[in-house]
Protein backbone atom coordinates (compact mmCIF):
# COMPACT_ATOMS: atom_id res chain seq x y z
CA UNK A 1 0.00 0.00 0.00
CA UNK A 2 1.01 3.61 -0.50
CA UNK A 3 -0.39 6.86 0.92
CA UNK A 4 0.05 10.02 -1.16
CA UNK A 5 -0.99 13.39 0.33
CA UNK A 6 -2.54 15.53 -2.39
CA UNK A 7 -4.77 18.58 -2.79
CA UNK A 8 -7.28 17.06 -5.19
CA UNK A 9 -8.23 20.58 -6.36
CA UNK A 10 -4.75 21.08 -7.85
CA UNK A 11 -4.45 19.30 -11.20
CA UNK A 12 -0.64 19.27 -11.06
CA UNK A 13 -0.63 17.63 -7.62
CA UNK A 14 -3.16 15.07 -8.84
CA UNK A 15 -1.08 14.24 -11.90
CA UNK A 16 2.04 13.78 -9.77
CA UNK A 17 0.24 11.62 -7.20
CA UNK A 18 -1.29 9.34 -9.84
CA UNK A 19 2.11 8.99 -11.53
CA UNK A 20 3.65 7.88 -8.22
CA UNK A 21 0.80 5.43 -7.61
CA UNK A 22 1.16 3.94 -11.09
CA UNK A 23 4.89 3.60 -10.54
CA UNK A 24 4.31 1.81 -7.24
CA UNK A 25 1.69 -0.55 -8.71
CA UNK A 26 3.55 -1.45 -11.92
CA UNK A 27 1.46 0.93 -14.05
CA UNK A 28 -1.80 -0.75 -13.09
CA UNK A 29 -4.74 0.63 -11.12
CA UNK A 30 -7.67 -1.77 -11.29
CA UNK A 31 -10.16 0.14 -9.13
CA UNK A 32 -10.67 3.87 -8.65
CA UNK A 33 -12.87 5.01 -5.76
CA UNK A 34 -13.75 8.72 -5.93
CA UNK A 35 -14.45 9.63 -2.32
CA UNK A 36 -12.93 13.04 -1.53
CA UNK A 37 -15.36 15.43 0.07
CA UNK A 38 -15.90 18.56 2.13
CA UNK A 39 -19.06 20.21 3.42
CA UNK A 40 -20.22 23.21 5.42
CA UNK A 41 -23.55 24.67 6.44
CA UNK A 42 -24.54 27.74 4.38
CA UNK A 43 -27.92 29.30 3.69
CA UNK A 44 -28.62 30.42 0.12
CA UNK A 45 -28.50 34.12 0.97
CA UNK A 46 -25.38 33.86 3.15
CA UNK A 47 -23.40 31.40 1.05
CA UNK A 48 -19.66 32.04 1.26
CA UNK A 49 -18.03 32.00 -2.19
CA UNK A 50 -14.82 30.39 -0.94
CA UNK A 51 -16.80 27.59 0.70
CA UNK A 52 -18.83 26.97 -2.45
CA UNK A 53 -15.61 26.86 -4.49
CA UNK A 54 -14.02 24.41 -2.05
CA UNK A 55 -17.02 22.06 -2.17
CA UNK A 56 -17.40 22.10 -5.97
CA UNK A 57 -13.67 22.02 -6.69
CA UNK A 58 -13.09 19.09 -4.32
CA UNK A 59 -16.07 16.88 -5.09
CA UNK A 60 -16.59 17.56 -8.80
CA UNK A 61 -13.48 18.96 -10.44
CA UNK A 62 -11.09 17.04 -8.20
CA UNK A 63 -12.52 13.67 -9.16
CA UNK A 64 -12.52 14.64 -12.82
CA UNK A 65 -8.80 15.38 -12.48
CA UNK A 66 -8.15 12.00 -10.85
CA UNK A 67 -10.09 10.14 -13.54
CA UNK A 68 -8.23 12.08 -16.25
CA UNK A 69 -4.93 10.53 -15.15
CA UNK A 70 -6.11 7.09 -13.96
CA UNK A 71 -8.43 6.14 -16.83
CA UNK A 72 -5.86 5.99 -19.69
CA UNK A 73 -4.17 2.87 -18.34
CA UNK A 74 -7.60 1.28 -17.80
CA UNK A 75 -8.45 2.01 -21.43
CA UNK A 76 -5.15 0.51 -22.49
CA UNK A 77 -5.91 -2.71 -20.63
CA UNK A 78 -9.62 -2.63 -21.53
CA UNK A 79 -10.49 -3.29 -17.91
CA UNK A 80 -11.23 -1.38 -14.74
CA UNK A 81 -13.81 -0.42 -12.15
CA UNK A 82 -14.67 3.11 -11.06
CA UNK A 83 -16.83 3.64 -7.97
CA UNK A 84 -17.99 7.19 -7.30
CA UNK A 85 -19.34 8.21 -3.91
CA UNK A 86 -22.43 10.39 -3.93
CA UNK A 87 -24.69 10.92 -0.91
CA UNK A 88 -28.09 10.09 0.45
CA UNK A 89 -28.95 13.78 0.14
CA UNK A 90 -29.39 13.33 -3.62
CA UNK A 91 -32.54 11.36 -2.86
CA UNK A 92 -33.98 13.66 -0.25
CA UNK A 93 -32.29 17.06 -0.41
CA UNK A 94 -31.11 18.94 2.68
CA UNK A 95 -31.45 22.53 3.82
CA UNK A 96 -28.25 24.58 4.32
CA UNK A 97 -26.22 22.24 2.11
CA UNK A 98 -27.13 23.36 -1.41
CA UNK A 99 -23.53 23.45 -2.67
CA UNK A 100 -22.89 19.96 -1.27
CA UNK A 101 -26.17 18.56 -2.64
CA UNK A 102 -25.40 20.02 -6.08
CA UNK A 103 -21.89 18.55 -6.05
CA UNK A 104 -23.14 15.10 -5.08
CA UNK A 105 -25.77 15.19 -7.85
CA UNK A 106 -22.88 16.00 -10.19
CA UNK A 107 -21.11 12.82 -9.06
CA UNK A 108 -24.15 10.82 -10.15
CA UNK A 109 -24.15 12.64 -13.48
CA UNK A 110 -20.47 11.86 -13.98
CA UNK A 111 -21.25 8.22 -13.26
CA UNK A 112 -23.69 7.85 -16.15
CA UNK A 113 -21.58 9.97 -18.51
CA UNK A 114 -18.41 8.00 -17.79
CA UNK A 115 -20.29 4.69 -17.98
CA UNK A 116 -21.37 5.45 -21.55
CA UNK A 117 -17.98 6.84 -22.57
CA UNK A 118 -15.97 3.94 -21.16
CA UNK A 119 -18.33 1.05 -21.97
CA UNK A 120 -16.50 0.17 -25.19
CA UNK A 121 -13.35 -0.36 -23.13
CA UNK A 122 -15.07 -2.80 -20.71
CA UNK A 123 -14.75 -0.35 -17.82
CA UNK A 124 -17.56 -0.34 -15.25
CA UNK A 125 -18.57 2.95 -13.65
CA UNK A 126 -21.02 2.97 -10.75
CA UNK A 127 -21.91 5.12 -7.79
CA UNK A 128 -22.82 4.60 -4.14
CA UNK A 129 -25.09 7.04 -2.30
CA UNK A 130 -24.49 6.56 1.44
CA UNK A 131 -26.50 7.79 4.37
CA UNK A 132 -24.81 9.76 7.13
CA UNK A 133 -22.05 7.60 8.62
CA UNK A 134 -21.98 6.82 12.33
CA UNK A 135 -19.43 9.00 14.21
CA UNK A 136 -16.03 7.45 14.75
CA UNK A 137 -16.25 5.29 11.63
CA UNK A 138 -14.48 6.48 8.51
CA UNK A 139 -14.19 9.72 6.55
CA UNK A 140 -17.90 10.39 6.57
CA UNK A 141 -17.88 10.59 10.36
CA UNK A 142 -15.28 13.37 10.18
CA UNK A 143 -17.66 15.38 8.03
CA UNK A 144 -20.41 14.89 10.60
CA UNK A 145 -18.05 16.08 13.34
CA UNK A 146 -17.22 19.20 11.33
CA UNK A 147 -20.86 20.06 10.70
CA UNK A 148 -21.67 19.38 14.36
CA UNK A 149 -19.15 22.01 15.40
CA UNK A 150 -20.87 24.62 13.24
CA UNK A 151 -24.16 24.20 15.13
CA UNK A 152 -22.67 23.59 18.58
CA UNK A 153 -23.67 19.92 18.77
CA UNK A 154 -21.76 16.78 19.65
CA UNK A 155 -20.93 14.45 16.72
CA UNK A 156 -23.28 11.81 18.12
CA UNK A 157 -26.13 14.31 18.42
CA UNK A 158 -25.52 15.56 14.88
CA UNK A 159 -25.51 11.99 13.57
CA UNK A 160 -28.84 11.27 15.24
CA UNK A 161 -30.29 14.53 13.88
CA UNK A 162 -29.23 13.80 10.29
CA UNK A 163 -30.33 10.17 10.57
CA UNK A 164 -33.73 11.05 12.01
CA UNK A 165 -34.28 13.64 9.27
CA UNK A 166 -33.35 11.36 6.38
CA UNK A 167 -33.45 7.70 7.33
CA UNK A 168 -36.35 5.31 7.77
CA UNK A 169 -37.73 5.23 11.33
CA UNK A 170 -36.38 2.61 13.71
CA UNK A 171 -33.07 1.76 15.36
CA UNK A 172 -31.97 -0.52 12.51
CA UNK A 173 -31.47 2.36 10.07
CA UNK A 174 -28.10 3.68 11.24
CA UNK A 175 -25.46 3.35 8.54
CA UNK A 176 -21.96 2.23 9.51
CA UNK A 177 -18.74 2.54 7.53
CA UNK A 178 -18.62 -1.22 6.94
CA UNK A 179 -21.93 -1.03 5.06
CA UNK A 180 -20.32 1.31 2.53
CA UNK A 181 -17.12 -0.73 2.38
CA UNK A 182 -19.11 -3.85 1.53
CA UNK A 183 -20.92 -2.01 -1.27
CA UNK A 184 -17.65 -0.71 -2.74
CA UNK A 185 -16.10 -4.17 -2.65
CA UNK A 186 -19.14 -5.62 -4.41
CA UNK A 187 -19.06 -3.05 -7.23
CA UNK A 188 -15.30 -3.57 -7.59
CA UNK A 189 -15.68 -7.35 -7.84
CA UNK A 190 -16.32 -9.69 -10.76
CA UNK A 191 -19.85 -10.19 -9.38
CA UNK A 192 -20.68 -6.68 -10.63
CA UNK A 193 -19.33 -7.12 -14.15
CA UNK A 194 -22.79 -6.56 -15.67
CA UNK A 195 -23.56 -3.48 -13.58
CA UNK A 196 -22.60 -0.05 -14.91
CA UNK A 197 -24.06 3.45 -14.85
CA UNK A 198 -25.96 2.61 -11.67
CA UNK A 199 -26.41 4.45 -8.36
CA UNK A 200 -26.57 1.99 -5.46
CA UNK A 201 -28.33 3.67 -2.57
CA UNK A 202 -26.94 2.51 0.79
CA UNK A 203 -28.83 5.35 2.41
CA UNK A 204 -31.06 3.78 5.07
CA UNK A 205 -34.10 4.60 2.97
CA UNK A 206 -33.45 8.32 2.42
CA UNK A 207 -34.24 8.05 -1.28
CA UNK A 208 -37.62 6.45 -0.56
CA UNK A 209 -38.88 9.17 1.77
Question: Given this model, what pLDDT does residue 164 score?
Answer: 62
pLDDT at 147 over 50: yes
What percentage of residues in the chain have a pLDDT greater than 70? 81
Q: Minimal CA–CA distance to 90: which of 182, 169, 203?
A: 203
Residue 7: inside a domain: no
The pTM of this model reads: 0.88
The full DSSP string for 73-118 is HHHHHT-EEEEEE--THHHH--TTBHHHHHHHHHHHHHHHHHHHHH
The pLDDT tens digits of the residues spanning 5-52 come to 999 999 999 999 999 999 999 999 999 999 999 988 899 999 999 999
The full DSSP string for the chain is -------TT-HHHHHHHHHHHHHHTTT---EEEE-------B-STT--HHHHHHHHIIIIIHHHHHHHHHHHHHHHHT-EEEEEE--THHHH--TTBHHHHHHHHHHHHHHHHHHHHHGGGTEEEEEEEE-PPPTTSSHHHHHHHHHHHHTT--HHHHHHHHHHHHSPSSTT----HHHHHHHHHHHHSGGGTT--S-EEEESTTGGG-
Question: Given this model, what pLDDT does residue 131 score?
Answer: 86
Question: Given this model, what pLDDT does residue 126 score?
Answer: 99
Residue 75: inside a domain: yes
pLDDT band at 176 (very low <50, low <70, confident <90, very high): confident
- Residues serving a catalytic function are 100
Q: What is the residue-averaged pLDDT of the chain?
A: 89
In the chain, the number of structural domains is: 1
Residue 155: inside a domain: no
Average pLDDT over every residue of 63-89: 98
pLDDT band at 209 (very low <50, low <70, confident <90, very high): low
Which residues lie below 8 Å from residue 97, measured CB to CB, with a gap of 6+?
A: 39, 41, 42, 89
pLDDT at 197 over 70: yes
The pLDDT tens digits of the residues spanning 130-143 come to 988 876 654 445 66
Residue 10: inside a domain: no
The pLDDT tens digits of the residues spanning 156-173 come to 766 666 666 655 566 676
Residue 76: inside a domain: yes
Residue 61: inside a domain: yes
The pLDDT tens digits of the residues spanning 85-106 come to 999 889 887 888 899 999 999 9
CATH code at position 98: 3.40.50.720
Question: Given this model, what pLDDT does residue 188 score?
Answer: 99
pLDDT at 116 over 90: yes
Task: Supply the range of the domain harboring residue 189.
Answer: 30-131+175-203
Residue 185: inside a domain: yes
Question: Given this model, what pLDDT does residue 139 score?
Answer: 47
Q: Minimal CA–CA distance to 197: which of 113, 80, 106, 71?
A: 113
Tell which wins on pLDDT, 115 or 150: 115
pLDDT at 115 over 50: yes
Residue 113: inside a domain: yes
Amino acid sequence: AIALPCDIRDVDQVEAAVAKALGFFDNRIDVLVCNAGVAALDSIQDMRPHVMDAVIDTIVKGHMYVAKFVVPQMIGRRAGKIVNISSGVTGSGHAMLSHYVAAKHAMEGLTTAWAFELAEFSINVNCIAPATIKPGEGRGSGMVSGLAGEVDMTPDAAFEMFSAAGNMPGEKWRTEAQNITDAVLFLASDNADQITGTVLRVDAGQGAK
